[in-house]
Amino acid sequence: MVKWLNNDNLNKLMKTLNPCMAVGGCVRNHIMKKTFNDEVDLATSLLPEEVMKLAKDAGFQVIPTGLQHGTVTCIMDKDVFEVTTLRVDIETDGRHAKVEFSKSWEEDAKRRDLTINALYSDLDGKIYDYTSGLEDIKRGMIRFIGDPDQRIQEDYLRILRFFRFLAHYGQEHDVKSLESCGKYVSNLTGIARERCIVEMIKLLHADNFLFTLKLMDKINLWNYCDFPSPDFEVIDRIISQEKILNLKSSALCKFASFKGSVDDVKLSNLQKRNVQLLRDLPNMNCKKDYVKWINNAPRDLWDDGFILKGRLSDLSFLDIWKENLFYFSGQDIMKIADIAPGPKVKHYLDQLMNWFIGQDLPPNYQDLCVKLQGIK
């Protein structure tokens, strides 16, 4: 039995819902000997109502996640499985599909996006391939199933998914698939921005992201997603610095190197703040600014900042500051200065921080307490 199938809850559910097979990313990554995040998607010829009854009777918590598309979530202990009834798409509008349930595994495979994502595995680890996905995995070929135009028109987000999977798993791309992406790229304007940025950040985690970004640039994809465009000169420098420093930049670091505002990009507020912090560091040229940056940026952003900065010899003095951060909070101010909550707390905190970052060496806690007493 395949190792990832050796899960008691998964075994129980697949036997309960027989005929039932694992499908998609878990099968693909097993074949490619890549890790995956323990998510196992299942397909079955049983109708959603049958899935819900059988799974519930077997002791699973059942959630009707998307009954109109045949999807039910089954939970046992900490294991979460999404089970979808075999189906065909009978009507699409580029974002949503009206489906009809089916008994055909081959028809279910053909309605999926890419050949490498349409592989099935039974409990014994036997692989079922209806779209030549195994051959494409051997070649490192990323291509749509059947007619690329049709696959893309069913869901325009598949354009971004094509590039994401190319970055992560591809060694070459199908020419017709790329041509179809360029043909329909303008339709990305109708896709939710949140969905687009999720695909982009996932893409930037890949080792082969640069080659993929250059293909995306050729079809002017940035014009239709409200993304800033890549600055390939800066990205080349990031890749060079990673090798020199033996560090790995984050996806957000790479995105921060893109040219243009991120105001309209559907990042979280924290992500936007971190992008701005990363963009600020390369423009700094004085010790006081660097020390303030170290104290404002979360630790997991430091390596990204140094990679973007490049000239790390300029920042060697920061080593001692990294071990002696400004550790006063508003609560400390109120307790030591004996003041009530309010604007005065921020005034004290700002004054203390400005003094702290202006010193030749990091002041200790006692130094800060003494200085605090002198602030008016």
- Please give the mean pLDDT across all residues of the chain: 91
pLDDT at position 287, please?
A: 86
pLDDT higher than threshold 70 for residue 311: no
* Tokens at 219, concatenated: 């079809």
pLDDT higher than threshold 60 for residue 94: no
pLDDT at position 96, please?
A: 65
pLDDT higher than threshold 90 for residue 373: no
pLDDT at position 320, please?
A: 84
CB 86 within 8 A of CB 108: yes
pLDDT higher than threshold 60 for residue 191: yes
Distance CA(22)–CA(122), nearest Å, equals: 6
Q: In which element (H, E) is residue 129 found?
A: strand 127-129
**Residue for token digits 């992500």?**
271
**Residue for token digits 């939970």?**
75
Distance CA(79)–CA(13), nearest Å, equals: 11
CATH number of 1-139: 3.30.460.10
Most confident of 150-154, 321-325, 357-361: 150-154
**Beta strand 119-121 with 127-129: parallel, antiparallel or unpaired?**
antiparallel
Range list for CATH 1.10.3090.10 in the chain:
140-227
CB 311 within 8 A of CB 352: no
Dihedral, CA atoms, 162, 167, 169, 170, nearest 10 degrees?
80
Most confident of 86-95, 151-160, 341-350: 151-160
Q: Encode pLDDT of 199-233 as tens digits.
A: 999 999 999 999 999 999 999 999 999 899 999 99
CB 72 within 8 A of CB 43: no
**pLDDT tier at 48 (50, 70, 90 boundaries)?**
very high
pTM of the prediction? 0.88
Classify 262 in phi/psi space as left (phi over 0), alpha (psi -120 to 50) or beta.
alpha
pLDDT higher than threshold 90 for residue 147: yes
CATH number of 140-227: 1.10.3090.10
Q: In the chain, which residue ranges form alpha helices assigned H by DSSP?
A: 8-16, 25-31, 48-57, 105-110, 133-139, 148-154, 158-169, 175-184, 193-204, 209-218, 232-245, 251-256, 269-280, 287-296, 302-309, 318-322, 330-337, 343-357, 365-373
**Beta strand 119-121 with 20-23: parallel, antiparallel or unpaired?**
antiparallel
**Residue for token digits 């027989």?**
18
Range list for CATH 3.30.460.10 in the chain:
1-139
